[in-house]
Chain A
Amino acid sequence: MREDTGRRERGEGPSGPSPLRSSPGPASRRHLLSAQRRFGWWLLLPSLIMLAANSIFPLLYAVGVSTKAYQMLIPGPRRFVGLANYIQALQDPLVWHSLAVTLYFVGGVLVLQFPAGLGLALLLHRLPRRQELVATLLLIPTILSASVVGFQWVQLYNYEFGPLNYLLALLHLGQPTWTADPHLALPALIFVDFWEWTPFMTLLLFAGLRSLPPQIVDAARVDGSTPWQVVWRVFLPLLRPIIGIALILRIIMAFKLFDIVYVLTAGGPGIATESLAFYTYIQGFRYFNMGYASALSILQLILITILAKLLLRLTRRPPIGGFIPQEAPL
């Protein structure tokens, strides 16, 4: 059982300075430290090279193009226009609308997928056996390609021939037009995403639950707390790190909402499901307004970065007065 009161001192192990991090003697200590640091960087180097080549380049390109009046289909020199594209973006009502659509979607994802994922994880945890089998069965939606999921749901949501409306008709519950209904289209998409990704959330949370030391759980139960309190006061704080990972990954993906819009609604009806990523796609790949699309992309990048930073900070703080056997800081 290891105790940790948060950030460890650099180089400290449980039995004093770790040979991996330090050694006696100032000169050799520095030498080994830097040798170790060098090792760390060597391990990282190939990744950094590959990432730099394939992500710094597009980033710089996008930033560069975003400052030009660049329409690929109109021949002629590309004028430098500074921040004009950005200003246009901020004044474009379609941009704000698509931002609202995206945020609504991300919010829906959060509000639905996290509790559902947690609930399912808890249910799985209660199963006496075959937990992994059920978890993997549930995971099949996630394993399917987003485009496959999209196509299947086009059929399922079909007004006349889809099994969903058939079922609703049997239950005398009315026949919504789903993706044809301006008010239902976005919730319909949220549900598709819910269907596809909640199992992923469930898997992560379930894995986290399984890793909790039984002693704590039993201690809490003996304590007399209700199951609800056990979940709220004990599980959630202990699961913070894995919750953080799950939420960040999901929110990054949800923010880039594109695949299911492309397949199911093409942004319609009207612009009801035109997400920011989809609108950027149209500007960039239908109208070939490269400058404008790049500016939009940079703006999204900034937004997601802020969101991610926020989330990281929220899920990193250790709980107040909590006893954490081994917190894995992100």
Chain B
Amino acid sequence: MKDPKSTRKHPHADRARSRVTRRALLSTAAASVAVPTLLDAVLSGQGTLYAATPSTTVNIEIDAGQNENPFRWKASEVKARWGFGINLIGLPFVGQYEKLVSELTARSTAYDVLVFPPYFLGDFVALNFLRDLDQFKGLGDPQLADYLPAYRDPVIKRNGKTYALMYDGDLLQVTYRKDLFEDPKERAAFKSKYGHDLAPPKTWDEYMEIAEFFHRPPNLYGTAFYAARGFCYAWFINIFAGLGGKWFEADMTPGINSEIGVRALTLLVKMKNFAPPNILQIDYPGLNAVFLNGSTAMVVQWDDLALKVENPAMSKVVGKGGYAPCPVRSYMPYSRVMAVSAFSKNPENAYRLAWYMQLPKVSVTYVYDPECGEDPYRYSHLKYDAVKNHLGKPTMSPAAARNYVDAIREGLKAGYPELSIPGAPRYLDILDLYVNQALAGALSPKAALDAAAREWKSITQAEDPGRQKAAYAAWIDAFRKAGIQY
């Protein structure tokens, strides 16, 4: 039993104390907002609200890593010429699309120049993320006539307007062990087995023959390809294109699950038999590795593999690389273009930077440099003596350079365009998912492609079939005008 007097004393003291408590808690709450804000302001020197970039710096969004290097190499020249500096914001390669879309949807002013693969372009133009570059022509003529046709109108223009400039022209290419192909014993054995000479394959059946011939595990694998989830679809499309496939019919019926598609995917699945056992793990670096360490006879890979093959710091097979276009047609996956963000506060300087980077005399200094990932896209790039790094040092022996440049030229004559209409990232990602399932053996090629086609149809539906048809037709038209067979 408590003394009533003492309990009466408590309420007052309690109320006073609880006022203190209240104050303490409220001030904690206030402090917990104020402190980080102040800290932020002090440390970043710009306040918490993102201030507009002063025009003395151009912000470049790009996928992090080697592809940033050309900008770094040219930064001082740019500064000398126009007085602005550059700030490179490198996004992780995986997840670049997601991040860009999130930010641009939120109308972020953080980026001035955007560097991304052109298959984003359809979506970005449709969503008004990019500025039309024709208005800036006065600041500098991009010399588009020098662009290889495959990289010009179909890639950088939409609705007749220019929205981007090229930065990196990607192409799938056959890279093979020249020393093995030229070895007399091998040649004799091949001829007796298959009835014709051993040479870079002109058809996919020949490709399979060569892969089978050289498949001698565990010391030598016949071939390898990107079979991991992410880009395996490109290797399917490569074969699909070579067999005459089309992305869509004119009425937007998907072409991937046609009889050609099933044949192409079946071939790709069969290719696994002549590849390393961990083929499903093999991605871009992995594919480079299996060729560069000498364990694989022939691969289809992006054309910058050649630069690495001839680089003693990276390769165990220097001088042994042979380069050829892919059978029948060479797919042109990825690539990179530069665009100016619609929300940039600094569009003129952004354009100047992009324009400078793609000038013939500037770009030629880095499209053959193994320390960045950029590849040729101009006529003026396709010269044998242009195969040098950004410091002017040749990056290949003259013979290899000749072989390489010729292979690119031939390959681009029969280049096959990467889908770039609105919704392209989704179409391609779905295709990749199902191709990967077929490769993993979870679905038959036909079932996989049928499922992919079904989803493609629903994407087309969601996007507005009329608009898709028009976009597709315009895109195909640009290719035909560029002289690409389609």
Contacts and interface: CB of A to CB of B under 8 A. Distances in A.
A270 B11 contact: no
A72 B101 contact: yes
Contacts of B146: none
Contacts of A179: 280-281
B426 to A, nearest CB: 5
A51 B318 CA distance: 60
B359 interface: no
Contact of B280 (A42, A75, A269): A269
Contact of B229 (A25, A35, A269): A269
A177 B18 contact: no
A180 B279 contact: yes
B286 to A, nearest CB: 9
A191 interface: no
Contact of B463 (A74, A271, A285): A74
Interface residues of B, number: 50
A302 interface: no
B429 A175 contact: no
A39 B95 CA distance: 47
Contacts of A181: 280
Contacts of B18: 35, 38-39, 42
Contacts of B10: 32
Contacts of B14: 35
A102 B7 CA distance: 57
Contact of A266 (B102, B228, B437): B228
B105 A72 contact: yes
B25 interface: yes
A159 interface: yes
A160 B293 CA distance: 11
Interface majority SS on B: helix, strand, loop or mixed? helix
Contacts of B443: 270
Interface string B392-430: 000000000000000000000000000000110110010
Interface string B261-291: 0000000000000001111111000000000
B277 A159 contact: yes
A136 interface: no
Interface residues of A, number: 45
Contacts of B437: 270-271
Nearest to B21: A42
- The winner among B10, B422, B463 for most chain A CB atoms within 10 A is B10
A270 B98 contact: no
B36 to A, nearest CB: 13
Interface in A39-91: 39, 42-43, 45-46, 49-50, 71-75
Contact of A42 (B2, B25, B281): B25
B382 interface: no
Interface string A177-217: 11111100000000000000000000000000000000000
A266 B230 contact: yes
Contact of A268 (B1, B4, B426, B440): B440
A286 B281 contact: no
A19 interface: yes
A267 B430 CA distance: 13
A179 B281 CA distance: 6
B229 A266 contact: yes
B317 to A, nearest CB: 16
A42 B22 contact: yes
A96 interface: no
A232 interface: no
Given A38-B18, A266-B228, A266-B229, A177 B281 contact: yes
A24 interface: yes
A268 B2 contact: no
Interface string A260-292: 001001111111100000000010011110000
- The winner among B1, B440, B462 for most chain A CB atoms within 10 A is B440
A31 interface: yes
A46 B28 contact: yes
Given A32-B7, A268-B436, A288 B101 contact: yes
B7 A175 contact: no
Interface string B427-454: 0010001001101111100000000000
A46 B442 contact: no
B442 A271 contact: yes
A90 B96 CA distance: 30
Nearest to B17: A39
A24 B4 CA distance: 8
A269 B440 contact: yes
A269 B436 contact: yes
B123 A73 contact: yes
A28 interface: yes
Contacts of A178: 278, 281
Contact of B7 (A23, A38, A72): A23
A35 B127 contact: no
Contacts of B281: 158-159, 177-180
A263 to B, nearest CB: 9
Contacts of B101: 72-73, 288
A31 B433 contact: no
Interface string A90-133: 00000000000000000000000000000000000000000000
B110 to A, nearest CB: 19
A170 to B, nearest CB: 16
- The winner among A24, A177, A270 for most chain B CB atoms within 10 A is A270
Interface in A9-48: 19, 23-25, 28, 31-32, 35, 38-39, 42-43, 45-46
A75 B229 contact: no
Nearest to A93: B451
A246 B190 CA distance: 63
Contacts of A23: 2, 7
Nearest to A19: B2
B130 to A, nearest CB: 14
Contacts of B2: 19, 23-24
Nearest to B451: A93
Given A24-B2, A177-B280, A180-B280, A286 B440 contact: no
Given A28-B4, A35-B18, 16 more contacts: A19-B2, A23-B7, A24-B2, A31-B11, A32-B10, A35-B14, A49-B29, A75-B127, A159-B276, A177-B281, A180-B281, A268-B229, A268-B280, A270-B436, A270-B439, A286-B426
5 nearest CB pairs, A to B: A159-B278, A270-B440, A180-B281, A268-B229, A180-B280
7 contacts: A23-B7, A46-B29, A50-B29, A74-B462, A266-B230, A271-B433, A272-B442
